[in-house]
Amino acid sequence: MIRKTVIITGGFSGIGKATAIKFAKNNYNIALTYHNTFDADFIQELKSYNVDVFALGCDQSKESDIINFVNSAFKEFEYVDSLVCSAGVAENEGLLTEKETEQIDNILNVNLRAVILFNREVLKHFMSQKHGNIINVSSIYGIYGGSLESTYAACKAGIIGLTKSLATEVAPFVRVNAVAPGCIETRMTENLSKETKLYVKNQTPLARIGTPDDIANTIYFLASDESSYITGETILVSGGAVRY
Catalytic residues: 152
CA proximity to 88, closest of 67, 109, 72: 109
Q: What angle do CA 157, 32, 80 make, to 5 degrees?
A: 90
| DSSP one-letter string for 151-197 | HHHHHHHHHHHHHHHHHHHSTTTEEEEEEEE-SBSSTTTTT--HHHH
132-137 β-sheet, strand order: 53-57, 29-34, 5-9, 80-85, 132-137, 174-181, 234-237
CA distance 30 to 233: 24
CA distance 3 to 8: 16
CA distances (Å), 179 to each of 16, 141, 159, in order?
13, 12, 10
CA 150 to chain centre: 19
Residue 169, Cβ neighbours under 10 Å: how many?
Answer: 12
CA distance 133 to 124: 13
